Structure 1
């Protein structure tokens, strides 16, 4: 996973309305950002409103098995007669939930470690950097296997927490590097001389000057969490209850959907994961162009 570009210029004061209006002006005219955001919002809306379009429960047996898409079953049925469209819309909900929770946890941990290490430096920086390196080389899959074998934790919340606690190191390193460059600025020195403590300097002086950078970091963590969760679901390490796009792919593979020609079972979840994650990364590129004047198209 790649961190956002590290040459995002910092502003020494809070963004005035004119700068915010300028960013909004370029945002609505950036094709990558508009298309990426539209795709993500469309899938999010489908996940939220989709259950209103179908009365079927995702795992209920509603009709004949292996039926192709039709007016009654928009995405066809599985080998057990389950409505694939119902599974898809409920799976979108779970996929977005894991992405938000996992990405949110990773972003919070990465920001805390990155800000403190970058601002304090010295021994604190060395200890936090050592912790970051340990988590970075931690065999996440092996740890999850042990957790599943001995603790039996197989819920969406536990999966999102695990993803968040194992995917923050690169974000911490990127934020640490940005904080190193900001802690020597004049506005930080003035805040330090005025008696402000470390927490106030970080939250009121440094973090606001990195707001666009932090937002792009969260988007990357969001998309990365969706990919990791889908991979874990596909190999059978996902939640034991409910449904997600990754679990749909796992069930389709387990019950030979491809061999049986049931393309409507595995193509929608695969296309959904690809579209959402791809749109997030495209939107992130667009945001980079909006926030960095050097990359704007004239």
Structure 2
């Protein structure tokens, strides 16, 4: 499974982009500061709204701040929100959806009621209200809010899959051998949901990045934090589109689009490997065809 997973070009390209952005989030601010000597918060009135050039590769914004330095610094904030929000949302979906499908009965009724409650709740208005009350608390709180309200759809899917796996022969055999409790759920049932959980995590990750950008665009975010969403929100406030300052809002928007593309590519690759209906026979190269022909002739 792991070997086939890495042989898909979609998975390799998607993971390459995600790893690149993760490295950029971890080491980017240090590299920009040490190599280029740029500070994303420094205001230089001499270079206000300058287009991309040799001194500033991505230009400067209305406040004289270097856009490249802000994009790199924003990668840390946006990737942090995306990863933390995805971890929280996926963990809640697993802890609620899998036991509900496996145990059934009253456990399923109670957990399913909680899932249905969150499914019918207007998530975006709730996020706006809660984030509005907690305005200025930082990107960690924003990520936790996004993850807390974004688990119900995944929990419903995991419940259905766990319900199917719970009735398979190997699970019944484990019960007959005396296996009970959470170990059977998380050691025997959960590993069969790895592909689905990976897809859920990627979907939750790009959803958290876009949700943070949307909250920042609406002004419900920590104004002191630097992320791609706060960059787009600042550009909108200063009418960057009408003034033709495309280098201010295009780079962060392009980064968000690349993250979404990378997650989609990895997701497609996981589906092609985990779902037998989507598996496509790989074309045999000329060299391998000759080798197979020789082997067949020798036999």
Please classify the TM superposition score into its range, dividing by the shorter chain length: 0.7 to 0.9
Indicate which of 2, 5, 10 corresponds to 1:32.
10
Of residues 224, 236, 259 in structure 2, which corresponds to 1:276? 259
Match of 1:181 in 2: 164
- If each structure's helix is expressed as a fraction of its own residues, which one has the higher value? 2
Instruction: Give the drift of 1:151.
Output: 4.3
Task: Structure 2 unaligned segments of length 5 or more: list them.
Answer: 282-299
The one of 203, 214, 229 aligned to 1:246? 229
TM-score (norm 2): 0.87
Instruction: Give the 5 Å matches for 1:53-202.
Output: 53-54=32-33, 55-62=37-44, 63-152=46-135, 154-202=137-185
Moved more, 62-71 or 146-155: 146-155
Alignment partner of 1:43 out of 3, 7, 21: 21
Aligned length in residues: 276
Change (3 A) 1:148 1:162: closer
Q: Matched residues in 2 for 1:292 and 1:140: separation? A: 30
Partner Cα separation in structure 2 for residue 152 and residue 31 of structure 1: 42
On the 8 A contact 2:39/2:69 being kept in 1, the answer is: yes
- 2-side partners of 1:151 and 1:230: how far apart? 17
Q: Per-residue deviation at 1:148?
A: 4.2
Q: What is the CA deviation profile of residues 175-211 of structure 1, one whole-angstrom value per residue up to 9, with x for unaligned ones?
A: 0011011101122122223333320111111011222
* Greater RCO, CA 8 A, separation 6+: 1
Instruction: Give how far 1:289 is off.
Output: 0.9
Give 1:135 shift.
Answer: 1.1
Task: State the distance in 2 between where 1:287 and 1:148 align.
Answer: 34
Q: Deviations over 1:102-123 (max 9, x none)?
A: 0000000000111111011122
Q: What is the root-mean-square deviation of aligned Cα atoms in Å?
A: 1.7
Give the secondary structure class of the aligned counterpart of 2:223: coil
Structure 1 distance, partners of 2:106, 2:136, is 36
CA distance in 2, matches of 1:31, 1:231: 31
**CA distance, structure 1, for counterparts of residue 87 and residue 102 of structure 2:** 22
Aligned position for 1:207: 190
State how far apart, in whole Å, the 2-side matches of 1:78 and 1:220 are.
32
Aligned to 1:11: none
Question: What are the Cα deviations for residues 226-247 of structure 1, in whole angstroms up to 9, with x where unaligned?
Answer: 1111111111112232111011
Question: Larger deviation: 108-117 or 139-148?
Answer: 139-148
Q: Supply the distance in 1 between the matched residues of 2:132 and 2:12 (Cα, whole angstroms).
A: 44
Post-superposition Cα deviations, 1:43-91, rounded to whole Å, max 9, x if no partner, equal: 2223333221343232221451011111221111011100111110011
Change (3 A) 1:255 1:294: same
The Cα shift of 1:99 comes to 0.7
The 1:149–1:40 alpha-carbon spacing in structure 2 relative to 1, beyond 3 Å, is: closer
Whether 1:220 and 2:203 are equivalent positions in the alignment is yes
TM-score by length of 1: 0.87
Answer with 1 or 2: which has the greater Rg. Answer: 2
Matched residue SS, 2:137: coil
3-state SS of 1:53 partner? helix
In structure 2, the residue matched to 1:8 is none
